[in-house]
């Protein structure tokens, strides 16, 4: 982690967030360029850095390192592993790099991305929903008081956070979300970079909500189902026009047009019992984000969703972290281990329930 020269793989939304965060918070770290497989991007300048191909980078590895800055880094990660490079030595996912770098250099608790849950209801009916909504026994909707408490407890323990991702079910079903964004920006602005809201695009916020999103500098991540759903094809353009009208930044998550989806399996079933197999599954997982709700932080947001939906898979001690506890050297060490994906067991107990595979796309609307 003492190496100071890095490439960022992917000149896109995640890369933009990452370079801006590193420039503000890690001035001694030098990013040489962006790597991107898109020939249209190669040879251009993005965020004041050149965009180059992998072929141009290879001669400099391992003298310089790679940070993969994608929402799903698995494909690039597998390519680099197959090419003989070592994970967390020659290359890192953004999600592993940030907590490890800042802990190694400054002993700071810094996380790239944390989810705040808003509800577990939706306007869609996806068989492969990673929020396990088809299995929900007790729907919940977070109150503004709960939101504030979660945010305050998070930043009692975090020194910095790159991105706060506010999610549902369908996030915009919770009418407190716009007020939460304003609260985060006015109360904890010095502690984080961006606020992102994930939405299906099937709900149009009110003018008042849009004003609050603009005030809080909120980004909307619009799941793009337009090629496979008629309602989405009608509603998403309307939401985009409203974003432009109110100056709310947005981007379209086009992964939804791909014909794959996560099959996490039946949350009540145990798929794997053997500890060695669980370690292998954990190591292969893309492990992108932790999550928070009501004073509890989980190392795996999907395990958190499973627990909320079913009440099963109660976490092992280092699967989750009690944000209500006092800040001590011991608590910071424990939180760092969770944020950097280093559980004592070598896996999360929720890995036993996770299907962890890709299957044909199962999206449909209700």
What's the whole-model pTM score?
A: 0.88
Closest CA to 269 of 357, 347, 358, 353: 353
Residues 189 and 264 in one domain: yes
Among 46, 74, 106, residue at a domain's last position: 106
Instruction: State how many domains the chain has.
Output: 2
| DSSP conformational letter for 191 | G
What's the pLDDT score for residue 61?
Answer: 83
Residues 130 and 30 in one domain: no
What's the pLDDT score for residue 352?
Answer: 87
pLDDT (tens digit per residue) in 134-165: 888 888 899 999 999 999 999 999 999 999 99
Q: What tokens were used for 230? A: 């008629």
Residues 141 and 237 in one domain: yes
Residue 121: Cβ within 10 Å count: 16
What's the pLDDT score for residue 134?
Answer: 86
Closest CA to 26 of 86, 97, 113, 96: 97
- Could you say which residues of the chain have pLDDT below 50? 258-259, 358-366
Residues 63 and 148 in one domain: no
What's the pLDDT score for residue 263?
Answer: 64
Q: Which domain holds residue 351?
A: 109-366
Residues 162 and 307 in one domain: yes
Q: From CA 215, how far away is CA 171, in angstroms rounded?
A: 19
What's the pLDDT score for residue 350?
Answer: 86
Pair 22, 31: CB distance under 8 Å: yes
Closest CA to 47 of 29, 76, 22, 25: 22
What's the pLDDT score for residue 360?
Answer: 38
Residues 173 and 46 in one domain: no
Residues 133 and 184 in one domain: yes
Pair 71, 223: CB distance under 8 Å: no
Residues 113 and 102 in one domain: no
Residues 186 and 85 in one domain: no
Pair 84, 261: CB distance under 8 Å: no
| DSSP conformational letter for 292 | E
The CATH number assigned to the domain holding 115 equals 3.20.20
* Helix (H) or strand (E) segment spanning residue 103: helix 94-106
Residues 173 and 252 in one domain: yes
What's the pLDDT score for residue 163?
Answer: 93
Pair 176, 146: CB distance under 8 Å: no
Pair 3, 67: CB distance under 8 Å: no
Residues 288 and 168 in one domain: yes
Pair 275, 151: CB distance under 8 Å: no
The CATH number assigned to the domain holding 54 equals 3.40.50.720
Residues 196 and 116 in one domain: yes
Q: How do beta strands 249-253 and 218-223 pair?
A: parallel
pLDDT (tens digit per residue) in 180-205: 999 999 999 999 999 999 999 999 99
What's the pLDDT score for residue 199?
Answer: 94
Closest CA to 36 of 22, 65, 62, 15: 15
Among 59, 88, 106, residue at a domain's last position: 106
Among 84, 106, 128, residue at a domain's last position: 106
Pair 118, 171: CB distance under 8 Å: yes
DSSP code string of 131-185: T-GGG-SS--B--HHHHHHHHHHHHHH-SEEEEEEEE-SSGGGSTTHHHHHHHHH
């Amino acid at each position: 982690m003492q190496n100071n020269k890095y490439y960022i793989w992917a000149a896109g939304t995640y890369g933009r967030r990452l370079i801006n965060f590193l420039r503000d918070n890690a001035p001694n770290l030098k990013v040489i360029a962006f790597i991107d497989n898109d020939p249209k991007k190669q040879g251009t300048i993005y965020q004041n850095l050149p965009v180059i191909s992998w072929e141009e980078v290879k001669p400099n590895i391992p003298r310089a390192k790679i940070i993969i800055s994608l929402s799903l880094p698995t494909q690039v990660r597998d390519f680099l592993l197959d090419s003989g490079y070592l994970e967390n030595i020659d290359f890192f996912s953004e999600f592993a790099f940030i907590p490890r770098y800042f802990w190694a250099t400054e002993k700071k608790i810094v996380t790239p991305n944390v989810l705040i849950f808003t509800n577990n209801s939706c306007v869609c009916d996806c068989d492969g929903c990673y929020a396990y909504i088809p299995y929900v026994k007790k729907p919940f909707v977070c109150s503004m008081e709960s939101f504030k408490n979660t945010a305050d407890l998070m930043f009692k323990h975090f020194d910095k956070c790159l991105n706060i991702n506010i999610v549902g079910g369908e996030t915009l079903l919770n009418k407190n979300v716009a007020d939460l964004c304003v609260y985060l920006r006015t109360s904890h602005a010095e502690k984080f970079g961006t606020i992102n809201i994930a939405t299906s695009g099937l709900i149009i916020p009110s003018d008042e909500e849009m004003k609050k999103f603009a005030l809080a500098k909120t980004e909307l991540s619009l799941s793009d189902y337009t090629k496979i759903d008629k309602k989405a094809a009608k509603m998403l353009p309307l939401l985009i026009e409203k974003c432009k009208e109110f100056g709310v930044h947005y981007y379209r998550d086009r992964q939804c047009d791909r014909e794959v989806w996560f099959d996490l399996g039946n949350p009540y079933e145990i798929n794997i019992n053997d500890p060695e197999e669980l370690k292998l599954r954990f190591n292969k997982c893309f492990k992108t984000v932790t999550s928070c709700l009501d004073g509890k932080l989980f190392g795996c947001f999907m395990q958190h969703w499973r627990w909320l939906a079913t009440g099963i898979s109660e976490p092992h001690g280092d699967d989750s972290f009690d944000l209500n506890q006092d800040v001590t050297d011991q608590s910071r060490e424990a939180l760092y281990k969770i944020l950097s994906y280093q559980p004592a067991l070598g896996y999360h107990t929720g890995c036993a329930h996770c299907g962890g595979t890709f299957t044909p796309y199962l999206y449909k609307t209700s």
